[in-house]
Amino acid sequence: MSDTIFGKIISGEIPADKIYEDEHCIAINDVNPQAPVHVLVIPKRAIPKLSEATGDDQALLGHLLLVVKKLAAQLGVAEGFRVIINNGKGGGQTVFHLHLHIIGGFKMGEGMV
């Protein structure tokens, strides 16, 4: 397991507001939300960033998007949300364990992140 904060959350070493878990990923509420809904979907496999994903990760990456879809519906934002993956320092990534942000609940054109 990676030594990032997300690796520690996945292993249970540090707590988080977990809203979903399956054998491949977890989803937690972001500790510093940028919108009324701000959830992070985090694979248990510790891929540092999207640009390091390989063909072996194909099924996992598809799974993560389907979890995003399911959670967006559960969170009541299915009609309007964003999925963001920050890649690398230049892309604004701060935790080097791949994760997808689900951002929603804002009025379109407001609360942009």
- Contacts of residue 61, defined as CB under 8 A and 6 or more positions apart, other chains included, come to 53
Active site residue 38: no
Site for ligand 5GP in 66-85 (CB under 6 A): none
Q: Is 12 helix (H, G, I), strand (E, B) or coil?
A: coil
Q: Are residues 77 and 59 in contact, defined by beta-carbon separation less than 8 angstroms?
A: no
Using CB under 6 A as the binding rule, whether residue 93 contacts ligand 5GP is answered as yes
- Span of 56-64, 69-77, 89-97, 104-112 interacting with ligand 5GP by CB under 6 A: 89-97
Task: Give the per-residue contact string, 4-43, with ligand 5GP (x = CB under 6 A; - = no).
Answer: -x----------x-----------xxxxx-------x---
Tokens representing 35 are 């919108």
Q: Is 76 helix (H, G, I), strand (E, B) or coil?
A: coil
